[in-house]
Amino acid sequence: MKKGIVTAIFLIFLPLYFVAQVSLHDSITYTFNIKTNPFAMLQGPIMYTSEYRLGFEKPVSLTSAIQVSASWLGKAFYENFIEAAADVNDILLINGYRFQAEYKYYLKSIRHRWMPFNGLYMAINGSYSQAKITTSDYKIHDEYISAIYEYIALKNGYQYCYGRYTFDFFYGLGIRDIIWKSNLSQQNQTLDKKNFVPFNSSLKILLGINIGIRL
């Protein structure tokens, strides 16, 4: 009988304990959110690039937050595979960076007076990217192709929080501009961007996810 009671108490209170722990985590007021997007390593904002991103989100009120991120742009993984398959001697060298800034307005916080990081939000997002593409031979003579990619967009999203972890799903629309230039034989020339982008349009479409941890 005693064993049955102890077992029953164990089976009832153990799940409640874990539920309480999750609720406790959700009740903590977090003031900082460190974020990244692992999928950006597959394709960066500029063709032939991979993006390695680190972002920070900080509440500025009960309903809003500021998010900034910085990225290093390197050569895309698929470009390495292409060069290896083609047995290319003079490989591409790619180096660049990206900065983003965003203002987020959490709708759920208005009703529940929660601190940001959780729920539906609207945001305005701006991004600036620059990359330099060259080869070992061209680098000796300081010859390269460069790209500047910038946009501003309106976003809608939902950030789901589980304990310390955040999963930020978003989509949005905006306007963009891409400028490609070459510096070859000591001559600067603006290139036709149609040769470097799959869609020649000023429309920017955002669709993605950021994964973070709250501190």
Domain boundaries, the chain: 1-29, 31-214
pTM: 0.80
Mean pLDDT of 187-199: 78
Mean pLDDT of 57-64: 87
Beta carbons within 8 Å of 178's beta carbon, 6+ residues apart: 147, 148, 149, 193, 196, 197
Output the pLDDT for position 89.
Answer: 74
pLDDT in tens, 9-60: 444 444 444 443 444 344 456 788 999 999 999 999 998 999 999 999 998 8
pLDDT in tens, 91-105: 889 999 999 999 999
Q: Which segments of 60-186 are extended strands (E)?
A: 64-75, 92-106, 119-135, 144-162, 165-184
Output the pLDDT for position 14.
Answer: 46
Topology (CATH level 3) of domain 31-214: Porin (2.40.160)
Label residue 194 by pLDDT band (50, 70, 90). confident
β-pair partners for 99? 70, 128
Output the pLDDT for position 28.
Answer: 55
Mean pLDDT of 170-188: 90
In the predicted model, what is the mean pLDDT of the chain? Answer: 83
Structural Rg of the chain based on CA atoms:
23
Output the pLDDT for position 29.
Answer: 67
Percent of the chain with pLDDT over 90: 51
Q: Rounded to an integer, what distance in angstroms lies between the CA atom of residue 125 and that of residue 154? A: 6
Task: Pick the most confident of 57-66, 147-156, 194-203.
Answer: 147-156
Output the pLDDT for position 109.
Answer: 65
Output the pLDDT for position 199.
Answer: 73
